[in-house]
Amino acid sequence: MGVEEYVARTLITVGLDRAVNWAINKARKNSLWPIGLELACCALEMKASCMPPYDLARFGAELFQPSPRQADLMIVAGTVTNKMAPVVRRIYDHMAEPKWVIAMGACAASGGLFQSYAVLQGVDCVIPVDVYVPGCPPTPEALIHGILQLQKKIEEEHFSDRI
């Protein structure tokens, strides 16, 4: 095998990999199907973000799924109690790869104002979180910004990392 051939093949392989990665990531980031974990008041803002004034459909993420098996983005909206923690973990485990998590609001990110025996101090104690959206509760704009940040993150990933 000559050096030229080797280089050419490597270049082609690298090029193909990039092209496939670009295409798959574009598909992933523009059709995030969320499952909403509606645990507290943040859920209302999450719903509002799907409504006409904000219209989450513009970013391909309006199709809220009732089943974790059909979802690839989990939005943890609200206070996660200790009692709920195993359930959250279970729902997360039921989601098929690729899957991402947004922790929406102060409670999901850190326990918020509930520094108490009953509340999990951040959902990242039980599942990995990709994007934290601060606020109490965050406005729909903030959630949409979080989803845009997640889209950026997805674009920078290699698709094979999440299979």
Partner 1 sequence: MPVSQGNNHPAVHKLARTFGRSVIEAACSSGQTILTIGRNDIGLVCRFLRDDHDLRYDHLSDLCGVDYQDKKPTRFEVVYQLYSSMLGDRLCIRVGVAGGDRVPTVTDVWPAADWLERECWEMFGIYFDRHPDVRRLLTLDEYGGFPLRKDFPLRGTVEIVEVAEGGVTWRPRS
* CA distance linking residue 127 with residue 122, whole number of Å: 10
113 binds partner 1 (CB under 8 A): no
| Residues 159 and 22: beta-carbon distance below 8 Å | no
Backbone angles phi, psi at 102, to 5 degrees: -110, 125
Identify the residue among 5, 117, 156, 161 touching partner 1 (CB under 8 A).
117
Supply the minimum distance, in Å, between the C-beta of residue 77 and partner 1.
19
Supply the minimum distance, in Å, between the C-beta of residue 37 and partner 1.
14
Closest Cα to residue 60, out of 36, 35, 34, 30? 30
Rg (CA), the chain: 19
Strand partners, 36: 75
Site for partner 1 in 56-75 (CB under 8 A): none
Identify the residue among 11, 18, 86, 152 touching partner 1 (CB under 8 A).
86
What single-letter DSSP state applies at residue 63?
A: -
Supply the minimum distance, in Å, between the C-beta of residue 74 and partner 1.
15
- Binding segment for partner 1 (CB under 8 A), chosen from 2-10, 87-95, 99-107, 150-158, is 87-95
Nearer to partner 1 among residue 117 and residue 161 (C-beta)? 117
The site that binds partner 1 (CB under 8 A) totals a number of residues, namely 15
The letter for the amino acid at 112 is G
116 binds partner 1 (CB under 8 A): yes
* CA distance linking residue 107 with residue 98, whole number of Å: 25
94 binds partner 1 (CB under 8 A): no
Nearer to partner 1 among residue 82 and residue 139 (C-beta)? 82
DSSP string, 69-93: GG-SEEEEES--BTTTHHHHHHHHH
Given the rule CB under 8 A, which residues bind partner 1?
82-83, 85-86, 88-89, 93, 115-118, 120-121, 125-126
